[in-house]
Structure 1
Amino acid sequence: MRKWLPLVAVCLGSFMLIVDTTVVTVALPEIGTGLHASLSSLQWVMNIYTLVLAALTLSAGSLGDLLGRRRVYLLSLTVFGGASLLCALANSPAMLVAARGVQGIGGAAMFVTSMALLGTTYEGEERGTAMGVWSATIGVAAAVGPIFGGLLTQSMSWRAIFYVNIPISLVTMLLTKICFAADTPQQRPRLDIPGIVTFALASGALTFGLILADDKGWTSNATLGLFALALLGVVLFIVAERRHPNPMLDLSLMRNASFAAIMLSTIAAAWGFSSLVFTSLWLQSVVGLTPIKAGLALLPLAGATFVASTVTGKRLHNVSPRVTITTSLLLIGTGCAINGLLIHGGSSWAAAVPGLLVIGVGVGVGMPATGSAIFASLPPQRAGMGSGAMATFRQFGQALGVAVLGVIFSDVIHDHLVGKVADPQSAEDALTGGRRTTLGVLHDAGAHGLTSVYLATAGLALVAALVTSSFVRKKAPSVPPAAPKEAAEVH
């Protein structure tokens, strides 16, 4: 039993981290009232967390390799718990946004080091089991976040959603100290400062641009300027990594077709998860569920993910990643297609259940398989690099999915309402804002918007499945071994 305590420590931290990405959603009205916050401030309470996660995940993985994963994981828990206390004590919107940004710093380090700790603690069938349970924990956390947030907010206050992180952080830190041996590097680490700065510039600008595109439009000067800055950051990052003796990302990995295909599958799977944002809007604005009930309606996906992750992580650890990852994408695409065909204006929440179950199985099959494939492709001293790359691509996939699918959702709704209501824009705003409506034409428009989102997601998943079946090797992709000197320096 003791051998699974490290898994408990990692899953506790990951559960807390993922819940905090969604738990705030249902508390935003109470936060706005309590802090007299504007709509823009409330949006940044959500967006700053996503922005920091995207900017720092890869860098955090590299720091874990260099400074020791146990040390960085403990530090990330300290930062996350401290930032949660500041969030709970916030007396202004600015203080809350700043504290959420610090939470993102701790969260980025926590997420990638937790993956790396599992990858280096367990091997073979045990690694498959651990990755399966960890993946299932993430899936459940994402689904129950709104329910958890709604219960705490209604029974206590919005501040409770942050206070609860403090005891969880302390328990997780204690378990981490007990379960993991110190892994302080023997050589003095050499940080890739140029890589860290340029990647933060590129990823931060891209994520901010995607956030702004939904508000200002894809062709606005601000959005295009941020995309141009992101492109410049990518160029500078590539130059920095090629020149640095110990780069935080081995660029030769991206020239490996198999590794690149696995990263594409990560983006597609995360994109599929983004469709749940619009499912939640549909459940509340069209079906008329409360936020808590809407969260409960998504539990079939969480349950399917949990079962599939725990079963396949243990049973399929020796199966080729080409098979498992391709199967995962096919299931996600099929589930999205089912919902794209079944849901209509008069549907109840139950219409989404068949597709959600299939999507959940697909996510459950894919997450442990992808994680295991990444760790098998890298030497142990580069586990942080691999987990950082995977987490970064997942974060980008989710941000890109919300941005692009948001455009599809709103445009389809708007086109459906033109000529049928007096003010199409106001009606569209009611649907996309999650406000309940009883007008039949709005129900039809909302259903059309959601089915378009699902069908677009299905198309991407099926294309990604074709790519993975063609390019992912039967065995995990390998990387050239590091030179002896580099290996001694951890990179």
Structure 2
Amino acid sequence: MTDLSRRRWAGLVFISVAVSLIIVDSTIVNVAIPAIVDDLGISSTEVQWVQEAYTLVFAALLLVFGSIADRVGRKRMLLIGVVIFAASSILAALSTSGGLLIAARFVQGVGGAMILPTTLSLINATFRGRERGIAFAVWGSTIGGMAAVGPLLGGWLTTAFSWHWAFGINIPLGILIFVGVMLTVAESRGTDTRRTDGVGAALSVITMAALVFGLIEGRNYGWWTTDGSIELAGVTWPWELSPVPIALAVAVLGVAAFIAWGLQRRRRGRSTLLSFDLFRIPSFRNGNIAATIVSLGEFGVILALPLWLQFVLGFDALQTGLVLLALAIGSFFASGVAGAASGKVAPVWVVRAGLIAEIIGIGGLGFVITPDVNWVLLLPFLFVYGLGVGLATAQLTGVVLADVPVAEGGQASGTQSTARQVGAALGIAVLGTILFTSTSAALTASLDDQGVPAAQRDQVVSSVVDSAGGAIAGLRQNPDTARIADAAAQAFSDGTRYATWAAAGFLMVGLAATASLGSGGAGRAQGRAAETGEDASASPAPAGLSGPTVKE
């Protein structure tokens, strides 16, 4: 093996670790959220925004930075992203309020959006043929491994030290990645010199921000009229009409403006963030709908489970990480199953089998969620759910892109990644709203049945919901409120159950959306691979990767 070859493979290691930085951060934060609630006293809405701020910015900027990286240099963009991610992790680790933590998460989203598309671009530009397939397999396996390590690492750091280290761990990792990429990764650029669609990028950010704001804040501000006095950024809301329907209207108008603007640019021969012509392909159009819905169901429920495990069952962060490890093990195990089925079973059937497993796992989990459940009963359902996630996500991209022309594979791949991120953002917003709204309704009804005075009832409900369940422990410690604590634990369990069933419902819709994808994707992919001389197992190039140039 030559020095150049060794350098390329060493570079792949650091590129994969860069992606792991994003995955580890997400899984660590999920486990650390209850400790953050206890320490900072953040509300349930802020809990959603701690999760949502990162995903929202990440989804909105993914295509933008992928396109810019093709022009300014992918290695350069990756390094900038790592620096931003590590610097914002310092801000997150030192946060003393929910507002500062949410702001740090917004900045982390910017760094993450720079990292992910450039890692794919660099792999695509550096490797060819069979080597590219091996490189993408290494890249994907690293993500799977880190998904398993993340909850354990987060639980250990939070329990043994504090939640601050859940973010602080990103700093040494960032330094390692920066030095490694500098020494081993070659710079590369694309050949498309057209200017990035700045207006389209702005419209996508506005649309996503308005949509997620409306979904998260509806239960606080009122879905149509204001629910009491409202302050936004220190300014009192002057109208009876809630800002929520206004935000949702802005989202609808934003979508329409984004499409109209993109079609106009396409007619003028200019670049667009999304290739609208691709949506004329049924498998691509319906596949992206399926990917969005599947991501909505998969990622949204991750918000509820760590909160329920710690605030209702009384687990610490490390114990929570150990329980959730069953999900990660199932997902990691699925990679072997998918590999064994490769070439024998059409990818779309692997996707469907994965979705069915997800529905069984997450739906069954809802049936066993109670305030006094034995945690052992959770493990088989989490494993099956994780197995389904691994099967579905491993093959869905290839199925969606099966009918896409080879020359347009890059932009199609970027579009499909964005669809997944949009689904993840909506999942946290929608299922988080279901969790807290149903918890509030169930607890209100239970306290009414106990004859609790209205003023005390409203105070208890507000404290439990606003603390995302964190107030339950305090209620348990006081003998006078022990019955109220039991009612709160039951209500929060009910809310978690409804969130899991809603996730299962979304996954069923996603399964139905795969009906139009057909089953011939594997054959078509292999045929095109033979024509182009590429490895069929290699992922399509991300946006703007046709004809890359590599600089040593």
Q: What TM-score bracket applies, with the shorter chain setting the length?
A: 0.7 to 0.9
Q: Deviations over 1:72-99 (max 9, x none)?
A: 2232223222333444466777665444
Matched, 1:433 2:438: no
Q: Select which of 287, 299, 320 maps to 1:262.
A: 287
Q: Deviations over 1:123-179 (max 9, x none)?
A: 777666655554454455456545434433454455433333233123223443455
Q: 1:428 to 1:60 in 2, by over 3 A?
A: same
1:178-193 counterparts in 2 under 5 A?
Answer: 178-186=183-191, 188-193=193-198
Q: Select which of 460, 463, 481 maps to 2:506.
A: 460
Q: 1:96 to 1:275 in 2, by over 3 A?
A: closer
What TM-score results when the alignment is normalised by the length of structure 1? Answer: 0.83
Give, in whole Å, the separation in 2 of the partners of 1:8 and 1:318: 30
Matched, 1:252 2:277: yes
Partners of 1:205 and 1:229 within 8 A in 2: yes
Which residue of the partner structure matches residue 74 of structure 1? 79
Give, in whole Å, the separation in 1 of the partners of 2:322 and 2:94: 29
Unaligned runs of 5+ in 1: 480-485
Which residue of the partner structure matches residue 420 of structure 1? 449
Which shows bigger deviation, 10-19 or 245-254?
10-19
CA RMSD of aligned residues (A): 3.8
Partners of 2:469 and 2:492 within 8 A in 1: no
Which residue of the partner structure matches residue 482 of structure 1? none
Give, in whole Å, the separation in 2 of the partners of 1:306 and 1:326: 18
- The code of the aligned residue for 1:51 comes to L
Q: 1:459 to 1:123 in 2, by over 3 A?
A: farther
| Structure 1 residue 252, shift from structure 2 partner | 1.5
Partners of 1:343 and 1:451 within 8 A in 2: yes
Q: Deviations over 1:5-59 (max 9, x none)?
A: 4543233112211232343456568768988988877765544323322321232
Which residue of the partner structure matches residue 60 of structure 2? 55
Which shows bigger deviation, 186-195 or 135-144?
135-144
- The code of the aligned residue for 1:256 comes to I
How many residues end up aligned between the 2 structures? Answer: 484
| Structure 1 residue 297, shift from structure 2 partner | 0.9
Matched, 1:332 2:361: no
Partners of 1:61 and 1:384 within 8 A in 2: no
| Structure 1 residue 361, shift from structure 2 partner | 0.6
| Structure 1 residue 413, shift from structure 2 partner | 3.7
Partners of 1:283 and 1:289 within 8 A in 2: yes
- The code of the aligned residue for 1:430 comes to V
Q: 1:152 to 1:65 in 2, by over 3 A?
A: same
Question: Whose radius of gyration is greater, 1 or 2?
Answer: 2
Matched, 1:12 2:17: yes
Q: Select which of 225, 242, 254 maps to 2:246.
A: 225
Matched, 1:474 2:499: no
Q: Select which of 321, 326, 330 maps to 1:300.
A: 326
- The code of the aligned residue for 2:504 comes to A
Give, in whole Å, the separation in 2 of the partners of 1:359 and 1:33: 29
Give, in whole Å, the separation in 2 of the partners of 1:70 and 1:54: 21
| Structure 1 residue 314, shift from structure 2 partner | 7.2
Which shows bigger deviation, 262-271 or 305-314?
305-314
Which residue of the partner structure matches residue 358 of structure 1? 384
Give, in whole Å, the separation in 1 of the partners of 2:308 and 2:39: 27
Partners of 2:92 and 2:164 within 8 A in 1: yes
Which shows bigger deviation, 274-283 or 37-46?
37-46
Which residue of the partner structure matches residue 491 of structure 2? 445
Partners of 1:192 and 1:247 within 8 A in 2: yes
Query: What fraction of aligned residue pairs are identical, expressed as a percent?
Result: 34
Q: 1:335 to 1:196 in 2, by over 3 A?
A: same
What TM-score results when the alignment is normalised by the length of structure 2? Answer: 0.75
| Structure 1 residue 448, shift from structure 2 partner | 3.2
| Structure 1 residue 250, shift from structure 2 partner | 0.4
